Amino acid sequence: MISRKILRISMITFSIAAVPIMAQAADPTGNLTFQESLDGLKVSIDFSWTLISAALVFFMQAGFALLGAGLLRSKNALNYLTKSYLDFSAAALSFWAFGFAFMFGGSKIAPGLLEGNSWIGFSGFFLTGEAYDVTTAMIWIFQMVFAATAATIVAGAVAERLKFQAYLIYSFIVCAIIYPVYGHWAWGGGWLSTLPFGSGAKDFAGSGVVHAVGGLVALSGAWMVGPRTGKYTRYGTPNAIPGHNLSYVIAGTFILFFGWFGFNGGSTLAGTDLRISIIFVNTFLAGSVGAVTVIYLTYIQTGKADIILACNGALAGLVAITAPCAYVPPWAAVIIGALAGIIMRISIWFVEYKLKVDDPVGAISVHGTNGLFGLIALGIFADGTYGGVKGIIAGDWGQLIAQLVSCGTVIIWAFGTGCLTFLALKHTLGIRVDIEEEFQGLDIPEHGIECYPEEKLSFG
């Protein structure tokens, strides 16, 4: 019987090890699920909310596409848009075939997900057998759009010089192995969720599972593919390479902000969980404060209000609040958003000037650095009012220890497997386009058309 407790606990909020085993008979029509429920209307509301949230998160792909394309040169815009469209398509296939089973096998949160251990799952492949079920399908589509987000984060960091085929293969691997394995440890009943500190490692909506994974793999990819030609002078100082359409950037940020309500609020997996209102408020505050903090910071530094950095400041705040959004009070969300904006600004400088890694859209700093910060912030600001999760402000230092273990794990796993993936691609297919193609722009060499073709006039 599907209950509110199971839906709420299922992936994120509580330790899945404590979830009772659901009836494992497959229910592809949904009739049994509805009839066996104590409250069929409640189940319908929970299903509808989760599926609508999945659609909101999927719409964020449009935001990523516009944001990234706007920050690049026009000669590469179509290439980036194509990658943004195709990465979730490749990810869907790998997550359907392998990733979902690796991530949630053994979690017992839905039919067909019985087999697995604390390190990896091995049931639910291809959504067949007992996994051909309405509850399993609901969880799959919600997690699928999360996996696609992790994959698309990398696109901006390696833009304007990574081969298209290499990008598609990377996207497939991320959603087949890299994202699901760490996701299993954190959300699928794995060892991180059962750590003997605090309430075990927590990550309500994915600061670590989605954003840190995507950002750290982006770091490995950008490092291995090398900077764009002309990005650094002979003395090692970076040159600015302006994007071609700031309207895209702002529109993309609005779309991402809007979709984030589904990202965080939908992670309750229950429309009847009234904590959604707190999650919405915390999400809105953190994103807004992140933007305000960064725009004033840049104004103090340069005398100019930099809207590009302000947009990244908003996204940094949203990333940082994603893990603790259900566990912290609104005043803490304001602090988290402000700190996230400052951390993002420092990280961009460090990545560009010290590491000499070329990240055209700031994906490493927005998603990677602040994904890690979001995990840590949970261990500091969780107040114990939701799920009994308590951080330092509630007197529990153990939760911070669990969060730090989770941070260290995702750094080693995501950056390490990202390096192995791009290294393998580098020595087989190759990962970088020819210098002539890079100068020409990737739209024509890789796609045969331009994003902005000029009208050709013929005379006589």
Tell me the average pLDDT of the chain.
92
**Mean pLDDT across the stretch 172-188?**
97
Residue 455 within a domain = no
291-304 per-position pLDDT tens digit: 999 999 999 999 99
User: Does a structural domain hold residue 456?
Assistant: no
Q: What is the DSSP string of 74-143?
A: GGGHHHHHHHHHHHHHHHHHHIIIIIHHHHHTT--SSTT---B-SS-B---GGG-GGG-SHHHHHHHHHH
| Residue pair 219/364 in contact by the 8 Å Cβ criterion | yes
CB 51 within 8 A of CB 309: no
Position 123 scores a pLDDT of 96
Here the CATH number for the domain that contains residue 46 is: 1.10.3430.10
Q: Residue 451 falls within a domain, yes or no?
A: no
Contacts of 91 (CB under 8 A, 6+ apart): 144, 147, 148, 151, 171, 172, 174, 175
Cβ neighbors of 79 (< 8 A, separation 6 or more) are: 159, 160, 164, 441, 442, 443, 446, 447
Range of the domain at 8: 4-443
Quickly state the pLDDT bin for 30 (edges 50, 70, 90).
confident
How crowded is the C-beta side of 403, counted as CA atoms within 13 Å? 30
Mean pLDDT of 11-24: 37
The yes-or-no verdict on residue 55 having pLDDT over 70 is yes
Q: Which two tokens stand for residue 416?
A: 């390490």
Residue 452 included in any domain: no
Sign of CA dihedral 418, 66, 284, 267: negative
Would residue 448 count as lying in a domain? Answer: no
Residue 451 has pLDDT above 60, yes or no: yes
**Residue 36 within a domain:** yes
Mean pLDDT of 244-266: 98
Q: What is the pLDDT of residue 251?
A: 98
Q: 363-392 pLDDT, tens per residue?
A: 999 999 999 999 999 999 999 999 999 999
Q: Is residue 453 part of a domain?
A: no
How many domains in the chain?
Answer: 1
What CA–CA distance (Å, rounded) separates 54 from 136?
Answer: 14
For residues 60-82, give the mean pLDDT: 97
pLDDT digits (tens, 9 = 90+) for 195-234: 999 999 999 999 999 999 999 999 999 999 999 999 999 9
Q: Is residue 230 part of a domain?
A: yes
> Whole-structure pTM over 0.85, yes or no?
yes
Alpha carbons 55 and 48: distance in angstroms, whole number: 11
Distance between CA atoms of residues 380 and 368, nearest Å: 19
The whole-number pLDDT of residue 460 equals 44
> Token match 């606990």: residue?
9
Alpha carbons 322 and 264: distance in angstroms, whole number: 6
